[in-house]
Structure 1
Amino acid sequence: MHNGAVGVGLLGRLGAAWKPLAVAGGIGAAGGVLLLVDPNEPGSWLPPCPLRALTGIWCPACGATRMAHALLHGDLAAAWQFNAVVLVAGMPLALWLWGRWLRARLRGTPTPQVPPVVGNLVIVACVVWMLARNLLSIGAV
């Protein structure tokens, strides 16, 4: 007998999780594009970083598209060179946050708030990484 409760079965829980699943689908589609399109090739239709294109300054995420392309093609060394911080910190953090979001949606519970210390650490890490990579590139010239 159906009691009219929403989200009782597996289909209801999956329906409640459509947003994190849609995000995963979008990332999968972007990965599919990066399997076929090499952002390192001249004339690639993938857009460059706007900050880098306008100012010559590397943003904290500069190289992430090339890093993802290299990672998808099994070239961990190149991925590391394109953006080591996104590779070892950004991707695991994003996966952890996405997993918390998906788990909460599947359980029907509110998505847990990210502790402010995590947000503050991300901001500090981005600023330090941006300064370090730009100062190091000046010294390398």
Structure 2
Amino acid sequence: MTDVRPLDLPAALVGAQALGVGALLVRDPHQPGSWGSCPFLAVTGLPCPFCGGMRAVSSLAHGDLTAALHSNGYATVVVLLVAVASLAWFVDDVRSRRAGRPSRVDPLLDRAPVGRVLGAVLAGWLVFGVLRW
């Protein structure tokens, strides 16, 4: 990771998120079949933990928090947290670069238990999926 400039990773992350939201603004996931269908739902008749996630992000992009929570409450919370954290990281890197000081976020990320956090998020998503059945 020494070849990557400090601003590259947070900028790429925010850019990828913007592209994803932009795609959902172009093709509305509220229209049945516009993004395909859920294989788990097709096979079992039950919504998977991720069902409604794209509709939730689309609703957030349109500023409708209530509809987003209704589509998939867990995805709404996770997406908002990731978006806020990504923007905070990006802003810190821009400010750090301008001030000529090291980023305050990078050392925190080096010590962060990423595997445990991702595991907890996925476990929460599975619990959410089972509870909504």
The TM-score by the shorter chain falls in which range?
0.5 to 0.7
Which amino acid is 2:28 matched to? D
Q: Which structure has the greater CA radius of gyration?
A: 1
User: Which of residues 45, 49, 55 is equivalent to 1:56?
Assistant: 45
Aligned mate of 1:36, from 22, 26, 29: 26
8 Å contact from structure 2 (residues 14, 87) kept in 1? no
With over 3 angstroms needed to count, the CA separation of the structure-2 counterparts of 1:28 and 1:100, relative to structure 1, is: closer
Assess if the C-alpha contact under 8 Å between 1:101 and 1:112 holds in 2.
no
In structure 1, distance between residues paired with 2:88 and 2:112:
10
Whether the 8 Å contact between 2:74 and 2:128 is mirrored in structure 1 is yes
Give the TM-score taking structure 1 as reference length.
0.64
**2:94 is equivalent to residue 95 of structure 1:** no
TM-score scaled by length of structure 2: 0.67
Q: Which stretches in structure 1 are left out of the alignment for 5+ residues?
A: 1-6, 8-12, 135-141
Question: Structure 2: how far apart are the matches of 1:100 and 1:75?
Answer: 23
1:93 to 1:42, Cα distance in 2 relative to 1, 3 A: closer
> What is the alpha-carbon distance in structure 1 between the residues aligned to residue 8 and residue 62 of structure 2?
29
Q: Which residue of 2 aligns with 1:130?
A: 129
User: What percent of counterpart residues are identical?
Assistant: 32
Contact 1:70–1:79 (CA under 8 A) maintained in structure 2: yes
Q: For each residue in 1:25-84, what CA deviation from the matched residue of structure 2 results, as whole angstroms up to 9, or x when unmatched?
A: 12111211212221121342x233332233333222211101111111222221111001
The 3 A distance-change label for structure 1 pair 94 and 74 is: closer
Distance 1:126 1:21 in 2: 27
Residue of 109, 112, 122 corresponding to 2:110: 112
- Return the alpha-carbon distance in structure 2 between the equivalents of residues 92 and 38 of structure 1: 19
Runs of 5+ in structure 2 lacking a partner? none
Moved over 4 A (4+): 99-106
Question: Alignment length, in residue pairs?
Answer: 120
Alignment partner for residue 60 of structure 2, among 63, 71, 77?
Answer: 71
2:72 to 83, 92, 98: 83
